[in-house]
Chains A and B, each alone.
Chain A
């Protein structure tokens, strides 16, 4: 589905992403881990077109994304969340989804509904997504007034509002309590059941080890290991780079929050 070949991004002398090779298969949950500053967020920004790569290629289902503008990549079915929550604080929860909403093919709405958003069927669909995100009773709240966990869920819902094939989650569990992480895990699994491919960037091991089909480890912008969760957990190279050779690789104590 998503294939990054020899992808690099330099910021001046900083090699944020350096000759990265990554292959995410359709329908899987691919976990991407790595220490702070290893280039995970930069990778997301490269795939979404916020940054242009210094070199290399980005392919989605065999189509080269490199020449496409960000909006064309969304059309192609890419969607994302942000490491630092980015919502439209002065809009209601409902409106936050409405601005991002895209009709599923064959379900397009009239110009009136596009303009005012008043059609019942669209209201119904957005409400359904809100229920799925556990925000069903908050649709009229201002996004800026939500609790932290709710804002995270709203970001997730918004990422789904554009009907993506591939969703990039940039540290969705950062700062969450362990009950919230369990809830998030369920949601990510549901996305997979819906046929969405997930690239999960995460620091919280408890989540990433339990939910991913495969995991890649990034260090200094390159992939230093790739494999099943158990393999990654027991890979000495990974432990050295990522955990400072600590033996304890499970549990939420590596829940670092950067920025």
Chain B
């Protein structure tokens, strides 16, 4: 497999983490335009742990994930009283604050004659862990894919749980959920926190793979893409957001003829899909039907 193909696939896997994190928030019935912040925080923390403190990549990504989750928890707690629209706006503000904050952090380090560490708009360069440990792009693709599959496995178990059913109930009809004794706010806090962890994890891997990150990589457009993937993929199953990613990056990027117009093509595609299938490709109803057919035929 060529390096070009492997790096496109890796990028698809990495953005899938962002799309899945947007999915986890959408499930409880709110929209977040701020998932890129958790992705960025995960990336910066992982870069710091591995490049400045010489930590192992696993440690780095793990701490990156916890940092993403912690930021998300803070955001979720600060916004408990906000309803849908105001929650969405505040996630956007929060993410922009994080980005602007990172632009102010200037703490370059000199390690083995190379400059690393966060340096405001200049970014964080020389995140060399995968070079130093001789990982090729293809190796990293395998690693990222394994992580993604593991996450999907966990989400699959979550999907079968009553917690997830209840979270979806909260998302669809919070009055009904309350009348059944559920606390919508609690579900929102838990799922937003989980989403922060997932985004932070993906961001950590992204930092390792990219070897260079800067605050402006984690702007609104990144979050909007993650969100769009989850929305067009549908909220029926975690595979939905991945299909969204595949459509955008896999299809549009690989067709060279339209790559110059990709943003236009993608925007048009999102609009078209949402008109035809407002619930996304893999909608809850679609999944319910599939389950039912499977039951009927005892497959």
Contact = CB atoms under 8 A, between A and B. Distances in A.
Contacts, number: 70
Contacts of B179: 48, 50, 70, 74, 79-80, 82
A49 B178 contact: yes
Contact of B183 (A69, A80, A95, A158): A69
B292 A140 contact: yes
Given A69-B183, A80-B179, A90-B284, A98 B292 contact: no
Given A115-B162, A116-B160, A142-B288, A88 B183 contact: no
Nearest to B157: A115
Contacts of B168: 88
Contacts of A50: 175, 178-179
A70 B181 contact: yes
B139 to A, nearest CB: 36
Contacts of A117: 162
A116 to B, nearest CB: 6
Main secondary structure on chain B at its contact with chain A?
A: helix
B153 to A, nearest CB: 15
B166 interface: yes
Contacts of B176: 82, 86, 88
Interface in A40-80: 48-50, 69-71, 74-75, 79-80
B173 to A, nearest CB: 6
A69 B160 CA distance: 28
Contacts of A219: none
**Which of B168, B180, B181, B284 has most A Cβ within 10 Å?**
B180
A83 to B, nearest CB: 12
Nearest to A142: B288
A102 interface: yes
Interface in A101-129: 102, 114-117
Interface of B: 160-163, 165-166, 168-169, 172-173, 175-176, 178-183, 284-285, 287-289, 291-292, 295-296
Shortest 4 CB-CB distances between A and B: which pairs?
A: A74-B181, A70-B178, A90-B288, A90-B284
Given A74-B180, A99-B180, A115-B163, 6 more contacts: A74-B179, A95-B165, A99-B165, A115-B162, A116-B161, A158-B180
5 contacts: A70-B181, A88-B172, A92-B288, A95-B165, A99-B166
